[in-house]
Amino acid sequence: MHTKTLKQLSALLQTKQVSATELARHFLQRIDASDLNAFLHVDAGLTLAQAAAADARLARGDSTALTGIPIAHKDIFVTRDWRATAGSKMLENYISPFDATVVERFNSAGMVTLGKLNCDEFAMGSSNQNSHFGPVRNPWDKLAIPGGSSGGSAAAIAARLSPAATATDTGGSIRQPASLCGVTGIKPTYGRVSRFGMIAFASSLDQAGPIAQTAEDCALLLNAMAGFDPRDSTSLERADEDFTRDLQRDVRGLRIGVPREYFGEGLAPDVEQAVRAALAEYEKLGATLVDISLPKTALSIPVYYVIAPAEASSNLSRFDGVRYGHRAEHYGDLSDMYKRTRAEGFGEEVKLRILVGAYVLSHGYYDAYYLQAQKIRRLIAEDFKQAFTQCDVIMGPVSPTVAWDLGEKVDDPVANYLADIFTLSTSLAGLPGMSIPCGFGQGEKNSRRPVGLQLIGNYFEEAKLLNIAHQYQLATGWHQMQPLA
Ligand code: GLN
């Protein structure tokens, strides 16, 4: 049952070959037996109550394609019934008085929540090793990281602990863990999906999206997830779309832009080989490859690591021991209470980013760092604008290497930052991006670790990206491969 795609499970539910309750029990059992540390909070009673409601809806005949399908949410989305920790000690026991818009939308479609998924603290990281609740293991090799910050989401899909998961991407956190765990994920155009109830990291970059086994499943999930929300001031007012509408279109004549800068020094040979093989597959399907340049790619790292910490330093000021979560037990005056609370509640990486953020925003440095970064951010978006005059979609690797070992790069923030080189610029430009499984590499350890192909589209072209990804998945079997455990 767990090997089936969301689309297949939906058909079984609609024809009453399986009930929502049976599905929920099956996945809860798998979660219970798993040793990946992908889930932070599971409550079978709550899940089964939602499943019973879904079964009643299915019996009444007022169901949607998603009714009765289990889903798990990254623990960055607030939920009324489950804890919302953001992977932080600061919010260890926090329960929100409301559901995030994304959660609310899936609930009203009749989906069944399996629980909350582990992630890097406040979504800061690319290996899930910054979670206060311990790292998640990669189901393909339990000695490897799953990627981050949505490591729990990607690992849960890869290990078939859930057919669907939510995730968020600020600089790569949907695409990179999807790539390292061999599953499919899409980060929509900035503003497509409501940020209301998503615990904020860097508001001008944060964007939610789905992770699942296939592009087709992601399209079905995005149909429910996307849409205008008056409670999010950056939500886009656009007509609702059916993201499955173009899935069947063939890719003959498609012009694929291959950025030179994505295939240079630093790209591991095993990753390059898998990505080039995927490009060759697209040529077989009738697409043509166009050599393009995104000259500002290297600058995306310093730009992102100025802008994201700047926004984080402001967003995280709300965690003061008064309004949310943890408060130090022993303190002197009010200011001492703030200091101790934040010293105890935040982990190392979060503190580092708050310091960097406060520094680049401070008087005297603002012009040199923050303002400069904003200007270059604009030029990065111009790179893409120029590229899309020559091609319909851009493709390349998601991550320069396959998943690294647990314990590696823990004390080296810069090594982590460098691994984001191929995902940051898409986020800075606000463009939609995807990762689909396209093979395996060896890493250094001679184990089998997945490689993802990145697809970057122009603004609002999610339906096109999903179409292009689906056509590849019709022709290849990488997305169907599963880890042994
Ligand atoms: N790895 C990047 C960071 O650490 C991106 C994280 C994300 O997209 N949430 O900030």
Query: Is 112 among the domain residues?
Result: yes
Instruction: Give the phi and the psi of residue 426 in degrees, each rounded to 5.
Output: -60, -45
The pLDDT of residue 444 is 63
Sign of CA dihedral 403, 405, 411, 415: negative
Residue 365 domain-assigned?
A: no
Mean pLDDT confidence for 367-380: 97
Catalytic member of 88, 126, 131, 149: 149
Asked if residues 175 and 431 have their Cβ atoms less than 8 Å apart, the reply is: no
What pLDDT, on a 0 to 100 scale, did the predictor assign at position 455? Answer: 99
Catalytic residue among 7, 10, 19, 74: 74
Is residue 4 annotated as a catalytic residue, yes or no? Answer: no
Domain with residue 241: its CATH number is 3.90.1300.10
Choose among 93, 139, 82, 137: nearest CA to 115.
82
* Any atom of ligand 1 within 6 Å of the Cβ of 199: no
Give the pLDDT score at 4.
98
- Measured in Å, residue 162 CA sits from the centre of ligand 1 at 23
Structural domain total, the chain:
1
Give yes or no for residue 420 CB within 6 A of ligand 1: yes
Residue in 282, 240, 259, 241 with CA at minimum distance from that of residue 470: 282
Mutate to test the pocket of ligand 1, among 122, 315, 420, 424 (most ligand atoms within 8 A of CB): 420
Q: Is residue 407 a part of any domain in this protein?
A: no
Task: Please choose, from the candidates 347, 317, 300, the residue with its C-alpha nearest in 3D space to the C-alpha of residue 205.
Answer: 300
For the segment 400-434, what is each residue's pLDDT rounded down to a tens digit? 999 999 999 998 999 899 999 999 999 999 999 99
Tell me, yes or no, whether 291 lies in a domain.
Answer: no
Does residue 446 carry a pLDDT above 90? no
> How far is ligand 1, taken at its centre, from the CA of residue 171, in Å?
5
357 alpha carbon – ligand 1 mean position (Å) = 15
* The pLDDT of residue 447: 83
Is residue 449 assigned to a domain? no
C-alpha span between 274 and 466 (Å, rounded): 20
**Ligand 1 near 91 CB (within 6 A):** no
Residue with tokens 């005949």: 61
Q: How confident is the model at residue 265 (pLDDT cuts 50, 70, 90)?
A: confident
Choice among 173, 300, 399, 447 that is catalytic: 173
Alpha helix segments (H runs only) across 246-371: 269-284, 300-315, 334-345, 348-361
- 445 has pLDDT over 70: no
Establish whether residue 208 lines the binding site of ligand 1, counting it when its CB lies within 6 angstroms of any ligand atom: no
Q: pLDDT of 283-310, one tens digit each?
A: 999 999 999 999 999 999 999 999 999 9
Give me 229's structure tokens.
């929300």
Count of C-beta atoms within a 10 Å radius of residue 186: 31
For residue 149 and ligand 1, the question of a CB distance below 6 A is answered with yes
The enclosing H or E element of 170 equals: none
Measured by CA distance, the residue closest to atom 5 of ligand 1 is: 171
Residue 459 is which amino acid? Y
89 in active site: no
One-letter amino acid at 216 equals: E
Query: Any catalytic annotation for residue 351?
Result: no
> pTM for the whole thing?
0.98
Would 308 be classed as within a structural domain? no
CA–centroid distance, 219 to ligand 1, in Å, is 24
Domain range for residue 114? 6-253+464-480
Distance 246 CA to ligand 1 centre (A): 30
Task: Read off the pLDDT of residues 102-138 as tens digits, 9 standing for 90 and up.
Answer: 999 999 999 999 999 999 999 999 999 999 999 999 9
pLDDT classification of 361: cutoffs 50, 70, 90: very high
Share of the chain above pLDDT 70, in %: 99
Span 249-270, average pLDDT: 96
Residue 442's pLDDT band, with cuts at 50, 70 and 90, is confident
Nearest CA to ligand 1 atom 4: 125
Would residue 43 count as lying in a domain? yes
3-state class of 479 per DSSP? Answer: helix
Helices (H) then strands (E): counts for the chain: 15, 11
**pLDDT tens profile 131-188:** 999 999 999 999 999 999 999 999 999 999 999 999 999 999 999 999 999 999 999 9
Q: Is residue 375 part of a domain?
A: no
